[in-house]
């Protein structure tokens, strides 16, 4: 081969290599990347796994593409630790260059992770945690929730207990951001007298005998308690084993769900709670979600964690479709998400100025279905279009 031909051959080969590299980078750039932070290890792994199942099912339902662009989800385990959650959030933003963040089950983890997301102007969709600070002075154009503000469900339970004429309560919850918010939310609406208020060590304490003894000795007419995950299972079982079911009625928040029922079993029967989503809500999207979840995961039922994660994926997709895949249009994406213009499993809802849902809350009970399996059942609508009490502190209008 002559020198000229060799030079042309090398040039052609180099051009071809560059074309392949460019095509590869274009394909990578075309992929929408979502970082999902939750707990996938330890006693609370079931919560993270259910949330991941709901998120993945929503991705299935939209064809695993957004406006024709493929979607990649990067899952990170926060180990239920704020410092780890922050590290994983920074890694997703700085190394993985994600377009969206989602997940965040625990309020202390979300608060620790908030600044990196907001500073980088990365949209963060919180699927469960709803700390009061985030609904108020720390609200951000880049943060949306598909759950609630932490105070809302306990405040709704306080309203229900007022309706039932309950005059006194003993309060028990974990000593972290959400636990404090939940008991404060209950006290914001409950008109009766609080005979005592106990905070337990989070997340390590699983023996509640001392707190239950104090509740019994207080002579309160009722107990209100908030404990998610494994702590909720242990608290309820110890409450029943102590023979207190017949002595002091228990009203709950975040203690009984489809994940805990297989362990709590008959102990959960007749224990009332409040939620914004229940598996039997009679709308088409919810029926599809529950049926397809159970088909994809035989033997499992979705909980509200999975339902809220499902809505998070749908919310992200609505924003991407609205801007025809051009993720540089952040203002337009924000405006679209503020419309909540997607089919939610809870039916229609809307956003307040602080990007916290304004939505219905339901009284729930535990029953046996036609197959003899324990399941949550909607008993009544306690309140419609409920808005959190911190939105007035949010500077966004």
pLDDT in tens, 165-180: 999 999 999 999 899 9
Considering the domain boundaries, does residue 174 fall inside one?
Answer: yes
Q: Above pLDDT 90, what percent of the chain?
A: 88
- Of 14 and 355, which is predicted with more confidence? 355
133: containing domain: 31-148+282-358
**Structure confidence at residue 80 (pLDDT):** 96
27 pLDDT band (50/70/90 cuts)? very low
Extended beta strands in the chain, E state? 32-38, 65-66, 69-77, 100-103, 123-126, 143-145, 168-174, 193-200, 223-226, 250-253, 272-275, 350-351, 357-368, 374-386
Q: Which of 266, 171, 260 is nearest to 222 (CA)?
A: 171
- Please indicate, yes or no, whether residues 208 and 301 belong to a single structural domain of this protein: no
CATH number, position 130? 3.40.50.2300
Cα–Cα distance, 139 to 117 (Å, whole number): 12
Same domain, 144 and 215: no
User: 181 and 254 share a domain?
Assistant: yes
The answer to whether position 21 is within a domain reads no
Residue where a domain stops, chosen among 275, 306, 338: 275
Residue 14 pLDDT exceeds 80: no
Q: Are residues 309 and 321 in the same domain?
A: yes
249 shares its domain with 165? yes
Last residue of a domain, one of 260, 275, 290: 275
Residues 290, 258: one domain?
Answer: no
**In a shared domain, residues 171 and 75:** no
In which band, very low, low, confident or very high, does the pLDDT at 21 lie, cut at 50, 70 and 90? very low
Confidence of residue 123 (pLDDT cuts 50, 70, 90): very high
Tally of domains within the chain: 2
* 229 and 159, same domain (yes or no): yes
Judgement on whether residues 114 and 224 belong to the same structural domain of the protein: no
Confidence check: pLDDT of 162 > 50: yes
Q: Is residue 366 part of a domain?
A: no
The answer to whether residue 98 scores a pLDDT higher than 60 is: yes
Domain identity same for 143 and 286? yes
* Confidence at residue 28, expressed as pLDDT on a 0 to 100 scale: 45
CA 23 centroid distance within chain: 37
Instruction: Evaluate whether residue 19 is within a structural domain.
Output: no
Which of 230, 253, 275 corresponds to the end of one domain? 275
Q: Is the dihedral of CA 90, 44, 276, 212 positive or negative?
A: negative
C-alpha pair distances (Å), 222 with each of 168, 255, 347, 367, 382: 6, 16, 32, 22, 19
pLDDT over 50 (residue 285): yes
| pLDDT 10s digits, 196-255 | 999 999 999 999 999 999 999 999 999 999 999 889 999 999 999 999 999 999 999 989
Residue 20 has pLDDT above 80, yes or no: no
Confidence grade of residue 5 (pLDDT, cut at 50, 70, 90): low
Residues of the chain with pLDDT > 70, as a percent, come to: 93
Q: Is position 207 within any domain?
A: yes
- The string of pLDDT tens digits covering residues 326-365 is 999 999 999 999 999 999 999 989 999 999 999 999 999 9
Both 137 and 163 in one domain: the answer is no
Task: Please tell me the predicted confidence (pLDDT) of residue 7.
Answer: 53
Mean pLDDT lowest for which of 25-39, 173-187, 188-202, 269-283?
25-39
Give the per-residue pLDDT at 1: 52
**Mean pLDDT score of the chain:** 93
Residue 335 φ then ψ, to 5°? -60, -40
Same domain, 271 and 299: no
State pLDDT tens for residues 363-390: 999 998 888 889 999 999 999 999 999 9
DSSP line for 23-83:
HHHHHHHHSEEEEEEE--SSTTHHHHHHHHHHHHHHHHHTTTEETTEEEEEEEEE-TT-HH
The answer to the question of residue 367 being in a domain is no
Average pLDDT over residues 43-60: 97
Residue 279: the pLDDT is: 95
Specify the range with the lowest mean pLDDT, choosing from 22-36, 94-108, 339-353: 22-36
């Amino acid at each position: 081969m002559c020198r000229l031909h060799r030079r042309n051959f090398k040039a052609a080969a180099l051009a071809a290599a560059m074309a392949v590299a460019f095509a590869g980078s274009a394909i990578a750039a075309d992929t929408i990347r979502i970082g999902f932070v939750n707990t996938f290890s330890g006693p609370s792994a079931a919560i993270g796994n259910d949330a991941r199942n709901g998120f993945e099912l929503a991705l299935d339902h939209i064809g695993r593409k957004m406006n024709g662009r493929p979607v990649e989800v990067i899952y990170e385990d926060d180990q239920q630790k704020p410092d780890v959650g922050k590290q994983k959030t920074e890694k997703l933003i700085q190394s993985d260059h994600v377009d969206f963040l989602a997940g965040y089950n625990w309020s202390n983890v979300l608060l620790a992770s908030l600044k990196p997301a907001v500073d980088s102007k990365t949209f963060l969709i919180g699927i469960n945690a709803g700390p009061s600070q985030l609904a108020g002075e720390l609200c951000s154009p880049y943060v949306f929730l598909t759950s609630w503000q932490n105070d809302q469900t306990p405040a709704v339970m306080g309203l229900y207990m007022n309706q039932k004429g309950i005059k006194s309560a003993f309060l028990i919850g974990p000593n972290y951001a959400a636990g404090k918010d939940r008991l404060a939310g209950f006290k914001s609406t409950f008109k009766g007298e609080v005979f005592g208020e106990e905070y337990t060590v989070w997340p390590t304490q699983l023996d509640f005998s001392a707190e239950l003894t104090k509740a019994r000795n207080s002579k309160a007419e009722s107990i209100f308690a908030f404990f998610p995950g494994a702590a909720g299972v242990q608290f309820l079982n110890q409450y029943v084993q102590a023979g207190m079911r017949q002595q002091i009625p228990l009203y709950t928040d975040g203690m009984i769900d489809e994940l805990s029922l297989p362990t709590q079993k008959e102990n959960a029967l007749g224990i009332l709670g409040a939620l914004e989503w229940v598996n039997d809500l009679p709308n088409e999207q919810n029926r599809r979600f529950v049926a397809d979840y159970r088909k994809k995961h035989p033997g499992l039922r979705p909980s509200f964690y999975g339902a809220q994660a499902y809505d998070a994926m749908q919310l992200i997709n609505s924003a991407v479709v609205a801007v025809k895949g051009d993720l540089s249009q952040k203002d337009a994406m924000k405006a679209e998400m503020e419309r909540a213009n997607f089919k939610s499993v809870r039916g229609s809802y809307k956003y307040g100025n602080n990007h916290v849902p304004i939505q219905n809350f339901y009284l729930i009970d535990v029953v046996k279905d036609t197959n003899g399996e324990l399941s949550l059942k909607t008993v009544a609508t306690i309140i419609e279009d409920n808005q959190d009490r911190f939105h007035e502190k949010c500077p966004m209008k």
